[in-house]
Structures are given as C-alpha cells and as structure tokens.
Amino acid sequence: MTALRSIGALALAAGLAVPVTAHAADVGALAVRTIASGFNQAWSIDFLPDGTGIFTQKDAKTVSTITKDGKVTKVGDIPGVSVTKEAGLLGIAVSPTYATDKTLFLYHTTGSDNRIVTWKIGDSATKPIVTGMPRGSQFHHGGRIKFGPDGFLYAGTGDGQNGNNAQNKNSLGGKVLRVTKDGKAAPGNPFNSLVYSYGHRNVQGLTWVGTQLYISDIGASKVDELNKIDAGKNYGWPTCEGSCSTSGMTNPVKQWPTSQATPSGLTTYKGSLYMASLKGGTFKLNTSGAGGKIYTSLGRTRDEVAGPDGSLWIITPGGIHLADGN
C-alpha cells in the first residue's frame, strides 16, 4: 500500500473525512517528473517528427532540443531578439512538413515590434514572415504560435500596452492571427486580413478541441479569461474585462481573478484542457472552464503541451517536466 493510501485508510478508520480535492492534488504532485532544469526563462515547446522536443528560452534567446530522458542540446542562437520583462524569444512551432522543409517558426520581440520568423537549424539568419505586431516597453507581447487542424499557423498577440490596438482591426495587436506558412492571410479569414479574432489583451495560450479553438487571455487587474474563439468575433478588451453586457462583445466561457490565474500556455490532453498559470500550478478544466489547479508544487508554469510520447509536458521558467495529467 502506498503512503498516500495508508494515510487515507488510517483517516477512514478513525472516522475522519478525506477531502477528494486534497487527494487529487497529492496524486497530481506525485505524478510529475522533472527531466531537465537550469533554464533561463524556458517559454515554449513543440516536437520534431521523431518525437524530440524543441524549445525556446525567452531570455537566453536560444533554441534547444530535449529528449524524453532529459538530454538537452542547444541548436541555435536567434539573432535580433530584444528582451524585457515579457519580451524575448517566445513561441515555437514545427512546420507540419518538417520532414521535407526542415523549417521552424518562431515568434520574438525586436527593438521595434513583435514578429514571426522562419528558421532552420544551422542557419545564422531568420526570415521574417509577419512583422508589425506592436510591442510595449515591457509587457503585452502575446507570443504563442501553433499550427491548427486546418494546417494554418495561428498566433496570439498582445495589445502592446495600448488597449486601443485590440479594437482596431487594422492593428495586429490584441488579436488571434491566422496565416499561411509564408505569412499571408489564410483563406477564409473574416476580414480579408491576417486577423481571425480581436478584442484580446495578451493571448499566450492556444489549443483545439476537435476543430474548435480555445485561447487563454491575461487580464489587467480584474479577471483572466478562457475564450472559445470563432472567426470574426470581438472579445471585448478594453471595453470589457471579463463578462459584460455590451452589444457586440463575446463573453469568456470562464474567468478567474487575476490573483489566481494569469494564464499562459494551453493544451488539450486526455479529454481535458490544461492551462499554465503564472500564479502557480496548472488548471485542469473542461471546455466550460470547470475544474481546478493541480501540480501546484511546480510553482509558476509557462506552457503545457500534449507530447507525442503520451505525456503532458509542462514548461516552467527553469525546467521541463513530464506528467500524466492526474
């Protein structure tokens, strides 16, 4: 009998209540295994066709590979990256046709903007494909990029510390973008531009349940949001932070006080949503946002990705961890 089960059995024998939530949290804590540590703001991970992880470090401005047993190999320094509190080398996405084109997509901050670039391991330069996402002096850079089930690249952007950008459909700030692999507007976009949805503040999480997109959006001082995204809809910022009754605004499916969440990466794993939390731990949720935190022992979490090996990969600023989702 495990120590945890022994404690539960003793408590029941003594007539004491055993809270289910506490048991779940304990099991979750035991189910996490750290495979590598010592990183300088690890931010995002994706996977090569052979199952090897490939990840960014925001402040180090590097791309590295990692195996499931924790072997880390730096494969490149990315030029032209500007680092502030939230800026730097952010999202990474592996080309769906990597086996033939060897192309990686990176989202990073420069001295004047945020941009998406392509890069191949061994190259000394990157190729910009989307430029002009606004940057703030320190904050609100967005940064998550992922290929969707339709084969197009999606990007979550920040408002660049200017809320008006989020409502301006001519700005790339405060948006979800949907683009082709050469950075053009994807066919079927609602405004004949790169913009897929708008009215966001600082999007750092993207995932799909089937073909339905969900995002996490970091709020200001009131609430953070989980949003179900449909093409062309307005999600309210800065007119609304969280749910409101303003005509034309789409409310989040769930919101949390900013003191509890500050969400970042988001993934779909074993039928649940897993949302990283910069306030510590990982939210395990259904598509209505019901659920709670697990893995709180990890502290601040930055990204969650369902790995090809069947594990949940959790990225913290200083480490990479494997979990089973319990």
Rounded distance, CA 270 to CA 263, Å?
Answer: 20
Mean pLDDT of the chain: 91
Cβ 54 vs Cβ 104: under 8 Å = yes
* Residue 61 DSSP one-character state: T
Task: Tell me the torsion sign for CA atoms 179, 308, 202, 126.
Answer: negative
pLDDT at 31: 82
pLDDT at 26: 34
Estimate the crossing angle of helix 20-30 against helix 3-13, to 10 degrees.
Answer: 160
Closest by Cα among 91, 146, 80, 145 to 113: 80
Rounded distance, CA 31 to CA 4, Å?
Answer: 13
Cβ 297 vs Cβ 30: under 8 Å = no
Identify any residues that bridge with 114 across adjacent strands, giving them in sequence order: 109, 133
Where helices occur in 57-201 by DSSP H, the ranges are 98-101, 164-167
pLDDT at 298: 96
pLDDT at 162: 95
Sites in the chain below the pLDDT cut of 70: 1-30
pLDDT at 4: 34
Cα 212 vs. chain centroid, distance in angstroms? 16
Distances (CA, A) of 126 to 79, 111, 182, 299: 8, 16, 13, 33
pLDDT at 17: 32
Rounded distance, CA 67 to CA 53, Å?
Answer: 6
Query: Which helix (H) or strand (E) is 259 found in, with range?
Result: none
Sequential DSSP letters for 169-209: TTS-TTEEEEE-TTSPBPTT-TTSSSEEEE--SBEEEEEEE
193 C-beta neighbours (distance < 10 Å), count = 15
Pairing of strands 263-269, 254-257: unpaired
